[in-house]
Structure formats: structure tokens, C-alpha cells
Structure 1
Amino acid sequence: MNNIDQLVDEIVKRIKPEVNTVEVEASGRHIHLDRPTIDALFGEGYQLTKAKDLSQPGQYACKERITIASGKNSFQNVVILGPERPAAQVEVSATDATSLGLRVPVRESGDIEGTPGIVLINGTQSVILKTGVIVAKRHIHITEEDARRFNVSKGEIVQVKIEGARALIFDDVVIRVSADYATSMHIDYDEANAVGFKKGIRGEIIKKSEK
């Protein structure tokens, strides 16, 4: 390989991460609350306190923490994510679900029909959710501009290849497109451990139609 070829190869390596891949983020167990549940746990009209912004525009972690409990086990200090949702939802990993003794389906956010319930506890106040516990389906938030660049569409199922010491290909990854998003892939801690997650890791989108 001559010097020019080496230079071109180096340039390609530098720009490829931004052009052909998306950043991957790992998410731990968390809760989304609706207004009636906030009122029941914290008092009527209570406003959750923003602690820090998250990578998705308008999304934030709250200062408040609560306990989630099943008949078998419980987790304390579970973070609440804002803003308020139309329905309360608890997102856990498959490992968490086993610890709680619950059979929790893999679902997209908001798809809670037929899911198991759980008890939410804040001090002496508690709420029994009849449904709402899910293992979040791995997904990519993507802007409309990036969706066109990657040639993917809302609801499309793709694979994502991640390099590294524990390289693997995630299958069954759903594309979620919105002008309000920042482009990034979301996985849970079980998936993060499987891939040897480190902050800043990136994944290459593979369209199934191109395999």
C-alpha cells in the first residue's frame, strides 16, 4: 500500500464512525409516571423535580426516587424519568424481571396492554399498577434527516453490528423516527453487559433487505 492509499484509508477510518454508525446508550431500570400516579404517590398537584437532562430532547431524570415491589422482591431508589406520560410504565431488564418473579414481555414503550403489574412505593404512600411492566425492545431513536441518510423508515426492523472485545450483532432492533429525537440506539443493562459496553460505543445499522 503506497502513502496515498494509507492516507485515504486513515481518512475513511476517521469519518466512518460518524457517517455509518450511531451512538449506543445503555439504560437501567426506570419509571414513567402519569398524573394520577404522581398525585397518589407525592400529593395532589405535585411537580417532579428535574435533576438532569437526558440525551433525548425534552427528556430528563427526576430527583425523586421510589421503590418498585412484587410479591417476591423489590428494588429501591428507582429513577423516575420525565415528563409525565399518559400512562405509568416501569421498564426493567430481563434479569430484573427474574429477580422480581415476573414474566415480563419485550415491548415497545407505551405498549403495555396485557403486561404484568407492580406496586410503586413512596414512603407511606403506594400505588398498585395493574399493568405497565415491560422489558424495552431495543430501538434506535433517529432524526428524520438521519433516517433518510441511513435509508430507514419508522417501524423498520434492522440489525446493529457492534465491534469490540465482545463484538456482536443485535437483531430485531426497531427504528423510531421523529424530528424531535436525537439519533442514538438504546439498550438495557443486560444487553450492555453482553457487548462489553463502554460510553461512546457505536453500532453500524444493517438493513435486513441488504443481507
Structure 2
Amino acid sequence: MSATIDRATVERLVREALSKHSGGAAASTAKPNPLVVNISARHCHLTPEHVEVLFGKGKTLTPVKDLYQTGYFAAEETVTIFGPRRRMIPNVRVLGPCRGDTQVELAFTDAISLGIDAPVRISGDIKGTPGCVLVGPAGVLELSQGVIRAMRHVHMSPADMVHHGVKNGERMALRIESPGCTTVLEDLAVRGGDDRIRLEVHLDTDEGNAVNLERATKVELVKLTSQGTCGCKH
């Protein structure tokens, strides 16, 4: 029986081979991973316990589409979000796998529509954030916290961070060239991970629409200067 090797493992083995061949200089000289910029639409992450509350006892998430990052997926399951204004947003996608805390990620206009003052946070940082009500086909869940506007961020492997000269938690800028709408977005958080991570920027729907991302002809990451500015040529 032949064994298959996943993409992340192949990339790691190639980097290691190049590093040995060039005396350890491959991390700074090898061609960087291609940059992908994706819009992350409103969604939620659930704990296993909350999946059962919303979708039924013994229920687990049903993957329907793999996301760009290895191991993550869009689930078949959706929920309806209710805010304090008694307004709702239906058919909000659940993303998997399950997490240790339930979290709802909205764009600014989503939060305004629901009447929720959602702060900008790194995903997972939900302490002291507003809550909401989630409704599924099998039950209702009232969250005391967990609603955020996800800070724009870039996922990076160790090799990507070395290539761009940044560390986990630092800030970068993203320059987007679109017809009549060239824009620089600063405060792009670096989210470092292991060798399985693919180089990817996440923007919310408001940001993606504002920069006309769908028609962008060029995107590039820019390292900030010591003064905290992007140093782009405008």
C-alpha cells in the first residue's frame, strides 16, 4: 500500500533539504510562500457542548468545505444570531473544528445592525466582550461573552516569519492595488504557527469591500518601520 504525504509535510521536507544544501540559508533565500488574501465573512466557532445544545444530543459538526488552512472547515450547520435590538442575522456559518470557547466573529456593519458594541480582538481573546443569543434547530444558547470583530491578521509559518523579518504578535501592513482604490491597511497582526500554516491574510467583509479586493491586481505585505509606519511609497 502506498502512503500519501500531505502538502505541509512536503513543504517542510523541501525547506529542510534546501537548508542543508545551502548551509542553513534557505529560510532567507528560498522563494516565499504565495500570499493569499481572503475575506472572512461572519461566522461562529462552537464548543462541543454548545454544538449539542444547538443541534441535538450527540451531534457533531458536518464538514462541507475545507478552508485554506489545513484542518479547518466550513460546516453544514448554521445558526441565527440575535442581538439586543431584537434584530437577527440568519444562516451564520459554523466553522470547525470545535474550540474551547464559543466565539462569534462579525463585521462592523453586522455588529451595528444587531446593536452589539463588538470590540476588535484577536480571535480567541473574548474576555469581557459582549454576548448574544444563538438559535439552532434544536435549542437556544445565550452567550454572556464571545462576540468580536476579528482584528485583520496574517497567518504565517516559521519560514514565512523569517522571510518577512517579523515575529508572532507583531504588526505589519497590507498594500492592495485595485482599480482606482489602492489602499494600505495597517495594524495587520502576525499570527505565527507551525509548518502546516499557509501564508494567508484574513480581512472581514467590510474591509474587503472597502479595498475592492475582488478586483485587486496586486497585494503585498509590508514590514513596519521602527517608528511603526509602513514605509510604503504613496
Shorter-chain TM-score category?
A: 0.7 to 0.9
The answer on 1:177 being equivalent to 2:170 is no
Q: SS of the counterpart of 2:163?
A: helix
Choose the corresponding residue for 2:73, options 51, 60, 73: 60
Give the SS at the match of 2:162: helix
Q: Which moved more, 1:195-204 or 1:165-174?
A: 195-204
- Secondary structure in 1 matching 2:35: strand
Cα distance in 2 for partners of 1:201, 1:186 equals 17
Normalising by structure 1, what TM-score? 0.87
Mapped to 1, the partners of 2:128 and 2:209 lie a distance apart of 29
Structure 1: distance between partners of 2:160 and 2:77: 34
Instruction: Please state how far the C-alpha of 1:196 moved relative to its aligned partner.
Output: 0.4
- Structure whose residues are more often strand by fraction: 1
Residue 123 (structure 1) shift: 2.8
Q: Could you say which residue in structure 1 is the equivalent of 2:178? A: 164
Aligned to 1:108: 122
- Structure 1: give runs of 5+ residues left out of the alignment: 1-17
Q: Which residue of 1 aligns with 2:204?
A: 188
* 1:41-120 map, 5 Å: 41-72=54-85, 73-120=87-134
Unaligned runs of 5+ in 2: 1-30
Instruction: After TM superposition, give the deviation of residue 19 of structure 1 in Å.
Output: 5.1
Letter in 1 for 2:213: F
Q: Is the CA contact (8 Å cut-off) linking 1:161 and 1:170 kept in structure 2?
A: yes
Deviations 1:155-201 (A, max 9, x none): 11111111122110001010011123111100000000110011776
Q: Tell me the equivalent position of 1:197.
A: 213
How far has the Cα of 1:125 moved from its partner? 1.1
Secondary structure, aligned partner of 2:134: strand
Contact 2:53 2:138 in 1 (8 A): no
Shift of 1:71: 2.5
Q: Structure with the greater relative contact order (CA < 8 A, sep ≥ 6): 1 or 2?
A: 1
> Normalized against structure 2, the TM-score is what?
0.79
Q: Does 1:36 pair with 2:49?
A: yes
Specify whether residues 103 and 114 from structure 1 end up closer, same or farther in structure 2 by C-alpha distance, changes over 3 A only: same
Cα distance, 1:22 vs. partner? Answer: 2.1
Counterparts of 2:73 and 2:82, CA distance in 1: 23
Identity %: 39
Corresponding pairs, count: 194
